[in-house]
Amino acid sequence: MDYKKTKAAPTTVPRDLEVLSDETGNIYETVMILAKRANQISSELKEELNQKLQEFASYTDNLEEIFENREQIEISKFYERLPKPTLISFQELEEGQIYHRNPARESKQN
């Protein structure tokens, strides 16, 4: 997913607890689903950021020379301005883009 084009709110927004429990019937289960998805998003963003910053890495051990790279700073600022992973995961849940299942619940139904 392209997190740069997400429609998630950049700041914290109050949420209705009834909306959280609609899909699973349990608010705590929904929160755990959101937390796991937020962790996935966070690790993907971190990996992508590290790959982009790796292009600017300096492999010299000279402490006297510290270079300020403008592109590196701009990339870092861009990723800092993105919505937080928890807000992105909540937006995905609202849009029905998160697939989840509970194996314990499925085994009880069979």
**Is the pLDDT reported for residue 91 higher than 90?**
no
How far apart CA 37 and CA 18 sit, in angstroms, is 20
Please report the DSSP string for the chain in residue order.
Answer: --GGG----SS-----HHHHHHTTS-HHHHHHHHHHHHHHHHHHHHHHHHHHHHTT------SS-----HHHHHHHHHHHHSPPHHHHHHHHHHTT------HHHHHHH-
Q: What share of the chain in percent tops pLDDT 90?
A: 17
Instruction: Give the predicted TM-score (pTM) of the model.
Output: 0.77
